Amino acid sequence: MYLEHFSLREAPFSITPDTAYFYPHDGMQAALNTLLIALRSGEGFLKIVGDVGCGKTVLCRQLLKVLQPECVTAYIPNPAMKMMDLLLALCRELGIEQPPDGAPFRILDSLQTRLLEHAAAGRRVVLCIDEAQAIPIGTLEGLRLLSNLETEKRKLLQIVLLGQPELDIKLARPEIRQLMQRITFSEYLGPMPFDRVPAYLAHRLATATRDDANHSAEFRGDATRALASFSRGVPRLLNVLANKCLMLAYGESAYQITARHARLAAADTNGLELQSPWWRYRIASSLRKNNFWPLAVPAPAHRGLQ
């Protein structure tokens, strides 16, 4: 594709969550710091809520990567399951063999025994559950009971829930209010600030560019401002648009990405709320003032592009 043209080892704007491309913009770093401080202080239940495409999964994987030397970690990416199935998934993550008869009390006993072994050896066990908004109500209540596993000094299992805003709605239900009370730290992960978009794009390009690069891609200032506006700072949308920009520039044998490439990429992408650019609004306003163009033109979405 365009890899050779831009001297890239791999596509820099894949939507697959890869910690090699982790970029700690303000909100992302704040969420990671909150999790690390809370987990290292022994808190039992933590929660991260974020909008779709804002990087919850890559945050989760970065957290697991940082914790790897100091903790035993478990990761469940799809928790839409009954409590017994979640217990089995947790046991598999911790290397616990399933009892031959599969009796629930034996599974729980094996899990508690392993957790006590880790605690005796001074190891903390952290369970990260992604897409937590999909957890059934009954399973959430089971997680609360699971968090009761503890010694006199510490929790045997620390649990991190990462989910979309629907998670907060589910946790507000009266029947699981006890779980909500146990969440001691929470953080919101939203879109990145527009002024961080240029550094984000440059970081991903630099990570993917070969050491022997003769030519590399460059996002001009007008392109980064346009991409920030079209994506609204959502990393997943930004990656989709940036990837299409590279494909367009490659098709023209160009190395610089411009606002024109960004507009073409946006027009080809579903789910974007395209607004008239600020310059079109200004021209239209001038024409209306001089009675040349009486048609109404919507105001710009972001004055920051001026």
Classify the C-alpha dihedral 30-36-42-48 as positive or negative: positive
- Helix/strand number for the chain, H first, E second: 12, 7
Fold held by 26-189: Rossmann fold (3.40.50)
Q: How far apart are CA 115 and CA 105, in angstroms?
A: 15
Which residues, other chains included, contact 68 with Cβ-Cβ below 8 Å and sequence gap of 6+? none
Amino acid found at 280:
R
Query: For residue 281, what pLDDT is reported?
Result: 41
Query: For residue 100, what pLDDT is reported?
Result: 75
Strands (E), 5-114: 45-50, 71-76
Mean pLDDT in consecutive groups of 10 residues from the start of the chain, 306 residues: 92 96 96 95 93 96 95 96 94 88 85 94 95 96 88 89 95 90 92 96 96 89 96 96 97 96 94 53 43 38 37
Q: How far apart are CA 226 and CA 49, in angstroms?
A: 27
247 to 4, 216, 243: CA distances (angstroms): 12, 13, 6
42 to 35, 39, 114, 184: CA distances (angstroms): 11, 5, 18, 11
Q: How far apart are CA 49 and CA 163, in angstroms?
A: 5
Query: For residue 273, what pLDDT is reported?
Result: 61
Is residue 158 classed as helix, strand or coil in its secondary structure? strand
β partners of residue 241: none
Under DSSP, the state recorded for 126 is: E
Query: For residue 48, what pLDDT is reported?
Result: 97
Burial 8-38 (b: 16+ CB within 10 A, else e): beebbbeeebeeebbbebebbeebbebbeeb
CB 109 within 8 A of CB 102: no
CB 7 within 8 A of CB 210: yes
Fold held by 194-289: Helicase, Ruva Protein; domain 3 (1.10.8)
- Beta-carbon count within 10 A of 110 CB: 17
**131-168 per-position pLDDT tens digit:** 999 999 999 999 988 888 888 788 999 999 999 999 99
Give φ, ψ of 104 to 5 degrees. -55, -45
**Domain ranges across the chain:** 26-189, 194-289
Query: For residue 274, what pLDDT is reported?
Result: 57
